[in-house]
Structure formats: C-alpha cells, structure tokens
C-alpha cells in the first residue's frame, strides 16, 4: 500500500531537495530509498528506472570457525584414514609422525634441530652400534633430522601412495617400503666406510620409486596410457630431482641410502612381478 502524502516523511520536501537526497543513496540507503519513493509518487520519475543500478545483494554470512575445522578434519581423514587401495600409506605416514613427535614429547628432543646423540638414542642407523643392534637398519628410517626433512619425505610418500598403492597392492607396497628402508641403510653403512649416523624415510621412499618403475615395465599391468604417463612423470620429477638435488646438495644428504633403496625396490618389484606371473 502506498503511503499517503500527508504521512510520507519527505512530503514537505521540494523536488530539488528530493533529487539531492536520492543521489545520496549509496551513503544513506534508507534516506535515498525514501526520496526515490516520494519522487515516484509525484510522477517525476518512473516506478522502474531504466538502467538503474540495483542495490547490491547482501554479503554472504561469514563461514563459522567450525566450518573451517570441519574442512580440516575431512582433509586429515582423507590423508590418514586407511581404506581399500590406500591402506599402507596412511599407516606409514602416521608411524613417521608418531616417531617424530615421540622424540619431542617423550624424549625432550629439540624437534627443530635434533642432535646427533638424540637420534642415536632413538635408534638411528649408527655404524658404531648397528652390528649389535641390527634393528637400527629399520628404526632409523622412521626418524627425521628436522621438520623440513620430515615434510619433504612425507609429501613424496603421500603423493606416491595416492597414485600408485592401489596399482601395486597394499601388502606389496608395505613390504617393499620396509625392505627398501633396510636396503638403503645397509648401502649407507657399506658406502660410508668412515662411519655414518643416518635417519630418514628417503631410502624406503626411493624403494617405492623402484617399485613404480617395475610396474611401468610390467607388460601385463592394468595401467592405461594416461596412468602410465602420470606415474612416469611423478617418478622422473621426484626420483631424479631428489637424486640430482642430493648429489648437488649439502654434504649431509645420504645419497647411498637413496641409491640402495631405489635398487632394492626395483629388484623387489621385478621379482614380485615374476612371481605373480608364475602363479597365473
């Protein structure tokens, strides 16, 4: 219903005043709307203004903090929840994270820069003790020398697992990872004749590169051309990039463990492929 002239708040305003107030709609929306309504009532402007700019839509409500937390929870669940075709990788990710966190929480280790003595105490691949404590060949692969070391290794493991674990099979994926970690540690001990104190999952991850390469070489593998191209690109990017970066990088990089892990994973992948063929 239209407001009677006697009741309209701007009924006493002149036309010039109403036009001025209408121009202030962007600053004072309520005043501008009332002025436009009075001008329309007087017949000075049409009820529908051609080309008139509509009022901007109300801003969407800000996402509550709970929504962001739920998104982060879903992301973490997608990364760390074991499921068919992606079972071993989340377990390995969690094992590496738990081992790293335990050093700080239970051992009081400075996680930003763990000391060599602390790493030895937690089971690093230390040549002075490994002959009497052979379990260090494996335990050292779950320890890391700092947050950057941990992040780079787990990022590569995550991408590899998402792309290739389902193709290789979760049991084979896990066994090759563990075997390659030991193979990389043994190669490191053999190469560093002056002694070594090494940690990190990179030898085991390089073993997964070798397994992926074995999958690409397998003729009977159920891989499409697109999947082969994607795996080959990932393999070249990470494996070659890590090898070249390790050779040109800091002296502390254990390239022997990388090469030993890669060779172990490749041989294990080829042997497992031949075994699967023999049982067909």
Contacts of 212 (CB under 8 A, 6+ apart): 160, 164, 168, 231, 234, 235, 269
Name the β-bridge partners of 125. Answer: 198
Active-site residue identified among 124, 185, 198, 258: 258
Contacts of 276 (CB under 8 A, 6+ apart): none
Q: Helix 202-217 vs helix 170-191: angle between axes, to the nearest 10 degrees?
A: 120
> How many residues belong to the chain?
280
Residues 196 and 119 sit within 8 Å (Cβ to Cβ): no
**What tokens does 93 get?**
């990710």
CA distance 25 to 41: 18
Residues 230 and 174 sit within 8 Å (Cβ to Cβ): no
Active site (annotated) includes residue 258: yes
Active site (annotated) includes residue 202: yes
Active-site residue identified among 139, 202, 242, 272: 202
CA distance 280 to 257: 34
Residues 273 and 223 sit within 8 Å (Cβ to Cβ): no
Could you list the active site residues? 202, 258
């Amino acid at each position: 219903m239209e407001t009677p002239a006697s009741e309209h708040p701007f009924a006493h305003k002149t036309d010039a005043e109403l036009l001025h107030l209408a121009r202030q709609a962007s600053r004072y929306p309520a005043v501008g709307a009332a002025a436009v309504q009075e001008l329309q009532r007087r017949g000075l402007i049409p009820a529908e203004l051609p080309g008139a700019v509509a009022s901007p839509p109300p801003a969407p409500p800000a996402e509550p903090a709970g929504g962001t937390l739920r998104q982060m929870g879903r992301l973490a669940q997608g990364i760390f929840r074991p499921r068919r075709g992606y079972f071993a990788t989340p377990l390995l990710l969690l094992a590496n994270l738990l081992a790293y966190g335990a050093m700080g929480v239970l051992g009081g280790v400075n996680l930003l820069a763990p000391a060599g003595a602390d790493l030895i105490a937690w089971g690093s691949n230390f040549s002075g003790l490994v002959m009497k404590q052979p379990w260090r060949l494996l335990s050292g692969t779950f320890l890391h020398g700092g947050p950057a070391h941990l992040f780079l290794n787990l990022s590569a493991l995550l991408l590899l697992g998402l792309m290739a674990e389902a193709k290789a099979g979760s049991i084979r994926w896990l066994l090759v990872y563990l075997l390659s970690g030991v193979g990389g540690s043994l190669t490191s001990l053999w190469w560093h004749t002056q002694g070594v104190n090494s940690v990190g999952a990179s030898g085991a991850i390089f073993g997964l590169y070798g397994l992926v390469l074995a999958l690409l070489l397998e003729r009977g593998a159920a891989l499409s051309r697109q999947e082969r191209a994607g795996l080959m690109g990932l393999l070249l990017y990470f494996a070659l990039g890590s090898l070249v970066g390790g050779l040109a990088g800091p002296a502390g990089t254990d390239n022997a463990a990388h090469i030993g892990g890669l060779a172990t994973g490749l041989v294990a992948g080829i042997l497992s492929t031949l075994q699967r063929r023999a049982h067909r």
